[in-house]
Amino acid sequence: MNLRSLAAVPFTFLLACSTVSAGAPTGDGNRASRAQHAAAVAAPATGHSAGDVDGTAVAHMGAAEIAALRAEGPAALERLLLAYDRMHAESVRDQMAATIDKVAGQRYATVSRLYWYEDLEAAKAVAKATGKPILSLRMLGRLDEDLSCANSRFFRTTLYPDAAVSTLLRERFVLHWSSERNAPRVTVDFGDGRKLESTVTGNSAHYVLDGDGRPIDVLPGLYAPQVFIRELTTAATLHASIRGKTGSERDQALIAHHQAAMEALNQRWASLPAIPVIEGSRMLLTGATVTRAAALAQRATMSKAYVEVPMLKTVDVGADPGALPADLELWAEIGQRLLEVGAPPEAAAAEAALANRWGLEARAVKPKPGKAAPAAAARPILDDRARALVDSMLAVPAGGSRLDDAARAAVIAQLEQTIVADTALNEVRLRPLIRGYLVSALMGGDASFATVNSWIYTNAFHAPSTDVWMGLLPRDTFTGLPGGAVTGGA
């Protein structure tokens, strides 16, 4: 069974949320004309500088003033960010940041530096005026609110703050987001004044659209920044190659691209060697980590010492990725090798050699002849800006206690591992499924944004719009509560 025939598998990982939809809401909070949006990008406002902006006034702007800045577009955000960068009073900066988020249409905009349209028609007008593709995020909830779906929260804290990601998005794309539906929230009340509030379920996707709002590619769920950059750069190049093409010529170019991408993924998968995995590891492995684990395991005997060493094993990934368990540690290691991300350059070769040697001893797993692990990228998963943002959020006291440096570092290490695992699962399980659907739709179906989005939420994310309870209300299980615990709504 190859990747093209892989059945959809429900997402089981911690970072789950989604971004794309058909018939997205078009409200922008302001009603600026599409021509205004296009002009704001093509010819930014003149006669303004950071010196013209009063930080205190920005901090106390009302809804009408924020709407006027939203109407101006990215140029207004740029002026506010210049003023923010020059402001030294921390209390004023904090208040300015809240206003800047509203103007940008995104939480933590002072770090990401991105402007997002909420009106797809406005985004299309700018895309046509500039010749850029649209990157449209479909999500649950709102990008400018804390309690949006989980993936969008990770986008804001680990992906968009990345300096290289931010530059790519600002220079090569028109950004737009829309909401599939509200993000379901859950509150745990401890009865003594303490409460925990978060969101549950949902998924999100980034759509690459042409100036007419038609999908040319989709990235489902969370991606590591390096892979996100690589895939969006390819998508931008694809968009440039089909500009001016219409009808069957355009569709055939897209079909050929997605078919070639699926075949390339099949070939990369077939080249994977046996993969070393340490069960229960909460970080990405390096060659040194695996070498130490193997040395300990080989010295261990069938005594108490055996359970005290890392449980190192090797996995032959085989021909069918759908047959592999959705283990965090395994898919993080697959992501490092398949996508060439998340480990020092020397780690891949060292770990592959060790896996082959130790795997033959422990599991009699033979490597595929003549296949070597690809060289991994030296770049860390989170860059300095994203890491600083995540660390600042972890440093906030929770439940009366503050995480120390070591505890925060451990959380970030596991976060990076989870990001790589999610990236691998998205690329191997969900994206081929979506590519296959796009190809069939382009061959004779309806490849509109609305139809593609509806199909993805129903068949890839298993969250059809017809299920108003999003799978959270059991209809066939007795809960012991009247009405199955429903306290409001129908």
Please report whether residue 84 resides in a domain. yes
Please report whether residue 490 resides in a domain. no
| Cα–Cα nearest to 125, from 264, 12, 10, 32 | 32
Per the structure, the count of domains in the chain is 2
Determine the pLDDT at residue 299: 59
Q: How many CB atoms lie within 10 A of CB 186?
A: 11
The residue with tokens 């590591």 is: 224
Determine the pLDDT at residue 274: 84
End-to-end Cα distance, the chain: 43
**From its phi and psi, is residue 280 left (phi > 0), alpha (psi between -120 and 50) or beta?**
left
Please report whether residue 108 resides in a domain. yes
Last residue of a domain, one of 431, 446, 473: 431
Please report whether residue 37 resides in a domain. yes
Is the distance from CB of 274 to CB of 316 less than 8 angstroms?
yes
| Cα–Cα nearest to 408, from 394, 418, 419, 389 | 394
Please report whether residue 362 resides in a domain. yes
For residue 313, give its domain range: 270-431
Determine the pLDDT at residue 365: 34
The residue with tokens 């409460």 is: 195
> What distances in angstroms separate CA 113 from CA 44, 81, 150, 166, 364, one per listed residue?
16, 8, 21, 7, 52
> Which residues of the chain register pLDDT less than 50?
1-51, 344-351, 354-377
Please report whether residue 383 resides in a domain. yes
Determine the pLDDT at residue 351: 47
Is the distance from CB of 471 to CB of 477 less than 8 angstroms?
no
Is the distance from CB of 158 to CB of 225 less than 8 angstroms?
yes
Last residue of a domain, one of 112, 142, 160: 112
SS3 41: helix
Joined together, the tokens standing for residue 4 give 């093209």
Cα–Cα dist 272/268, whole Å: 7
Please, is 20 exposed, middle or buried when counting C-beta atoms within 10 Å of its C-beta (0-12, 13-18, 19+)?
Answer: buried
Last residue of a domain, one of 69, 94, 112: 112
| Cα–Cα nearest to 417, from 285, 325, 294 | 285
